Amino acid sequence: MGELCLSLHNVTLQVDKDDKWLWKLESSNDFTVRSAYKVLIHQQHSATTVSSKVLWHKDIPLKIVLFAWRLFRDRLPTKDNLFRRGVISSDALVVVVRWNLPLIYFYIVIFLGKSGTLFTVGWVSAPSSLVCLRITSINLVLLVVTILRRDKPFCN
Amino acid sequence: MKISWVDWNSVCRSKEVGGLGVRRIREFNNALLGKWCWRLLVEKGSLWCRVLSTRYGEEGGHVLEGGCDASSWWRVVTTIRREGLFRDNVSRLMGNGKLTMFWSDVWVGDKALLDRFSRLFDLSLRKDAPVFEMSQLGWGRMVRRGSGGRGCFCGRRSWWGNFVYHFIM
């Protein structure tokens, strides 16, 4: 109660004015799409550049890059995605749900050939809460790693 | 003929900084939808807002989200309304306090009072009272006296007293 009093004690109401909303990103305090877009662009930038910069490496075979790229963007035809687009029915999803895996973050590390440098491609988080997708993702990640391991060592 | 490749980030950079000014469609769409969230606030009481609040219900001055049978447009708008970009950049400038909900609006500090003082909110009898009404309980007097934080604990007809009364009534 005391805390509530304390936080209210600086507030003064002005009888002759209406309450107003302020948009902090514009000096006019009015919402503009431009200012919102600008902020969104900055957020987007910091989120994705890390993996894409490293992934599009000329020495990594194209099919692998594309595969991993689609994986990161969650654009692979996983059951979850197929369901979302109405390709398969929800019954097809139910089968795997009893695998109650915790939310896992997958991490791909690629060892690059002779130089032996640790090459981090990036993080994949399970983008949806559906377990089936997580399971397929594990398989996919393992697949990516195996393919990369099996290929001839690339030089950096 | 040689094709010159341009990095997608440069294509999307604005023309002022040397890009081609193509907009990233997802972000741009969200920014446009953000405009709806804004209009929802400033055009409260207009016909389209009333249609929404009849369709999805209203609580504490906010149109409810409406669950999975809501229109896809409304689902996205409510998602954006909930997210950081919108919540962090919108603030309330207090006038007479008649249009701001004491408990459910964010008007003092960066969180709604019902989140900060949830137990008091549970006890409150007027959960949908506007700020103006709550200040009528005497807190306006307290402000004019210029008393400190503890000031509201003393005085027979202090805001504190009325406020407690409000809970017991």
pLDDT, tens digit (0-9, with 9 covering 90-100), for B63-122: 888 877 788 899 889 988 888 778 888 888 888 777 788 887 778 777 778 778 878 777
CA separation for the pair A43, B129 (Å, rounded): 37
Looking at B49, B70, B90, the residue that finishes a domain is B90
Alpha carbons within 13 A on the beta-carbon side of B168: 6
Looking at B41, B72, B90, the residue that finishes a domain is B90
Whether residues B73 and B130 share a domain: the answer is no
Q: Which of A82 and A60 is assigned the larger pLDDT?
A: A82
Q: Which of A79 and B101 is assigned the larger pLDDT?
A: B101
Whether residues B46 and B111 share a domain: the answer is no
B162 is in which domain, residue-wise?
Answer: 93-169
Whether residues B150 and B108 share a domain: the answer is yes
Whether residues B85 and B98 share a domain: the answer is no
Predicted pLDDT at A74:
66
Whether residues B108 and B47 share a domain: the answer is no
- The mean predicted confidence, pLDDT, of chain B is 77
Instruction: Assess whether pLDDT exceeds 80 at residue B146.
Output: no
Q: Look at B153 and A37 and tell me if their CB atoms are within 8 Å.
A: no
Whether residues B7 and B77 share a domain: the answer is yes
Predicted pLDDT at A111:
31
Whether residues B11 and B83 share a domain: the answer is yes
Instruction: Assess whether pLDDT exceeds 80 at residue A102.
Output: no
Whether residues B135 and B159 share a domain: the answer is yes
- What is the arithmetic mean of pLDDT over B17-46? 90
For tokens 């990036």, the residue is: A122
CA distances from A150 to A31, A115, B39, B156 (A): 54, 16, 56, 83
Predicted pLDDT at B50:
92
Predicted pLDDT at B29:
93
Q: Look at B143 and A1 and tell me if their CB atoms are within 8 Å.
A: no
Predicted pLDDT at B36:
93
Q: Could you tell me which residues are beta bridge partners of residue A22?
A: B91
Predicted pLDDT at B10:
86
Whether residues B84 and B147 share a domain: the answer is no
> Among the ranges A120-124, B40-44, B65-69, B126-130, which has the highest mean pLDDT value?
B40-44
Q: Indicate the helix (H) or strand (E) that contains A143.
A: helix A131-150
Asked if the C-beta of A44 comes within 8 angstroms of chain B's C-beta atoms, the answer is yes
- What is the arithmetic mean of pLDDT over B28-40? 92
Whether residues B4 and B67 share a domain: the answer is yes
Q: Which of A134 and A47 is assigned the larger pLDDT?
A: A47
- With cut-offs at 50, 70 and 90, classify the pLDDT of residue B46: very high
Share of chain A above pLDDT 90, in %: 1
> Among the ranges A32-41, A44-53, A111-120, B59-68, which has the highest mean pLDDT value?
A32-41
Whether residues B86 and B159 share a domain: the answer is no
Which of B37, B108, B158 would best serve as a mutation to test chain A binding (most A beta carbons within 10 A)? B108
Whether residues B46 and B84 share a domain: the answer is yes
Asked if the C-beta of A27 comes within 8 angstroms of chain B's C-beta atoms, the answer is no
Q: Look at B34 and A23 and tell me if their CB atoms are within 8 Å.
A: no
Length reported for chain A = 156
Looking at B45, B73, B90, the residue that finishes a domain is B90
Report the 3 state secondary structure along B83-141: CHHHHHHEEEECCCCCCCECCCCCCCCCCCHHHHCHHHHHHCCCCCCEHHHHHHHHHHH
Q: Look at B143 and A9 and tell me if their CB atoms are within 8 Å.
A: yes
Q: Look at B153 and A2 and tell me if their CB atoms are within 8 Å.
A: yes
Predicted pLDDT at B167:
59
CA distances from A36 to A47, A56, B81, B146 (A): 17, 30, 13, 39
Predicted pLDDT at A66:
77
Predicted pLDDT at B111:
76
Predicted pLDDT at B15:
86
Instruction: Assess whether pLDDT exceeds 80 at residue A75.
Output: no
How many domains are contained in chain B? 2
